[in-house]
């Protein structure tokens, strides 16, 4: 304040000897520049309605997140954005898609015993989903959005194997593990109007915009696969959402009509359709390739399990589950939902790896 007063006093003294053109009422250039700087405030505290919405400054204008915001623009409409919205039995992918294929009668792969043992004969199935664990959401969240939602460009680490977008990312998207997660940070978005799935891996909102490790877009009315050798938001190049055990299916529909998704710690440098990508340097044929499909043996007795768990187990017998990523052995994926009963889901851990078998595989693409 002292320096400001000195500056103005000095200017005033200079005005006393200023040439006529500066004492006739005009503002000297130096003082004009100073006053202009003093008047330039952030849009969210400049006492003006910059976006003509009838609201002025923070906190009155919802377009301002703080008094220092330089833009007073209104946020895009979030109408129709629903986290975890029930899909009400709507089918993901056509009925003849591999995800929707009944494989209960398919032959067992000749190398099944070896491959199952590599994942763990005595290791229990682990439901990697539910409510919360250690104050973090368990499982994948997804958000259903309208086709009119504004889309954002995303900068990718693996741009050469990512779909460029743009992506319909809502203002506060559900991020796998929570917004402060340092894990995979997947974001799954479903356009309900155009029936398109958008998935991002390792997504962050930076000051410059959205960034992600990789991203993939799937037309849910099509059987098209990713380009050969491409990843997705998942290591195997598969979509994630179709492989999740969702609460709306289990509780509302009473039936899961598609394959599920699981992980294994040690995988092969190879993949089998519908997977398109591997994530290993080990070429041993004793290890499972990405896209390998297993099913719960038909002889396994599920009668002692709860009604909800039986829905999951029937799906594992009829549709099986695809190996989709590296991770803990026999971890099966589902949605984060506060309506799950975690204690009930934990009963699935009693099912050991030896209760599964590998469905006969087609041609295996082996990495160089």
Encode burial over 27-65: b for 16+ CB neighbours within 10 A, e otherwise: ebeebeebeeeeeeebbbbeeeebbeeebbbbeebebbe
Per-residue pLDDT band for 131 (boundaries 50, 70, 90) equals very high
CA 97/CA 101 separation, integer angstroms? 6
- The per-residue pLDDT for range 227-272, each reduced to its tens digit, is 999 999 999 999 999 999 999 999 999 999 999 999 999 999 999 9
User: What local confidence, expressed as pLDDT, does residue 246 receive?
Assistant: 98
For the chain, the distance separating the N- and C-terminal CA atoms, rounded to the nearest angstrom, is: 70
Separation in Å, CA 85 to CA 27, 70, 137, 217, 246: 62, 35, 17, 19, 10
Separation in Å, CA 191 to CA 198, 220, 339: 8, 10, 24
For the record, the structure tokens of 65 come out as 């997140």
What mean pLDDT value characterizes the chain?
89
Per-residue pLDDT band for 8 (boundaries 50, 70, 90) equals very low
- The per-residue pLDDT for range 133-144, each reduced to its tens digit, is 999 999 999 999
Contact 174, 187 (CB under 8 A): yes
Task: Examine the pLDDT at 156 and tell me if it is beyond 60.
Answer: yes
User: What local confidence, expressed as pLDDT, does residue 30 receive?
Assistant: 52
User: What local confidence, expressed as pLDDT, does residue 48 receive?
Assistant: 83
User: What local confidence, expressed as pLDDT, does residue 20 receive?
Assistant: 46
Task: Examine the pLDDT at 298 and tell me if it is beyond 80.
Answer: yes
Per-residue pLDDT band for 29 (boundaries 50, 70, 90) equals low
Quick one: angle between helices 29-39 and 2-16, nearest 10? 150
- The per-residue pLDDT for range 39-87, each reduced to its tens digit, is 578 888 888 877 666 678 777 666 776 788 777 666 667 888 999 999 9
Mean pLDDT over 171-191 rounds to 96
- The per-residue pLDDT for range 306-316, each reduced to its tens digit, is 999 999 999 99
- The per-residue pLDDT for range 320-348, each reduced to its tens digit, is 999 999 999 999 999 999 999 999 999 99
Q: How many CB atoms lie within 10 A of CB 304?
A: 9
Handedness of CA 267, 321, 272, 218 (dihedral sign): negative
DSSP bridge pairs for 216 = 199
CA 368/CA 364 separation, integer angstroms? 13
Tell me the percentage of the chain whose pLDDT exceeds 70: 85
Task: Examine the pLDDT at 38 and tell me if it is beyond 70.
Answer: no
Mean pLDDT over 187-207 rounds to 97
- The per-residue pLDDT for range 86-105, each reduced to its tens digit, is 999 999 999 999 999 999 99
Interior angle at CA 278, CA 158 and CA 334, nearest 5: 85
Instruction: Kindly report the pTM of this predicted structure.
Output: 0.81
């Amino acid at each position: 304040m002292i320096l400001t007063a000195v500056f103005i006093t000095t200017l005033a003294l200079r005005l006393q000897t200023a040439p006529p053109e500066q004492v006739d009422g005009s503002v000297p250039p130096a003082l004009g520049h100073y006053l202009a700087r003093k008047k330039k405030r952030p849009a969210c505290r400049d006492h003006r309605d910059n976006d003509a919405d009838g609201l002025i400054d923070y906190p009155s204008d919802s377009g301002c997140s703080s008094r220092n915001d330089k833009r007073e623009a209104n946020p895009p409409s979030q109408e129709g954005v629903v986290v975890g919205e029930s899909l009400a039995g709507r089918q993901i992918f056509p009925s003849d898609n591999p995800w929707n294929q009944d494989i209960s009668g398919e032959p067992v792969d000749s190398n099944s015993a070896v491959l199952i043992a590599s994942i763990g004969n005595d290791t229990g199935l682990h439901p990697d989903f539910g409510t919360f664990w250690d104050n973090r959401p368990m499982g994948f969240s997804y958000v259903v959005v309208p086709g009119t939602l504004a889309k954002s460009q995303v900068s990718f680490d693996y741009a050469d194997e990512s779909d460029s977008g743009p992506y319909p990312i809502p203002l506060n998207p559900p991020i796998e593990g929570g917004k402060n997660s340092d894990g995979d940070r997947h974001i799954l978005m479903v356009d309900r109007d155009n029936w398109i799935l958008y998935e991002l891996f390792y997504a962050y909102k930076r000051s410059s915009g959205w960034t992600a490790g990789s991203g993939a877009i799937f037309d849910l009315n099509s059987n098209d696969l990713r380009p050969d050798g491409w990843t997705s938001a998942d290591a195997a190049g598969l979509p994630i959402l179709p492989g999740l055990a969702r609460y709306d299916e289990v509780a509302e529909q009473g039936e899961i009509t598609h394959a599920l998704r699981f992980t294994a710690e040690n995988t092969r440098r190879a993949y089998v359709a519908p997977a398109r990508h591997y994530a290993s340097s080990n070429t041993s044929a004793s290890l499972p390739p990405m896209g390998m499909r297993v099913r719960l043996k038909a002889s396994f007795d599920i009668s002692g399990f709860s009604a909800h768990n039986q829905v999951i187990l029937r799906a594992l017998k009829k549709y099986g589950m695809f190996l989709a990523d590296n991770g803990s052995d026999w971890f099966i994926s589902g949605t984060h939902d506060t309506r799950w009963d975690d204690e009930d889901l934990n009963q699935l851990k009693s099912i050991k790896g030896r209760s599964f078998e590998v469905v006969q595989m087609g041609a295996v693409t082996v990495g160089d």
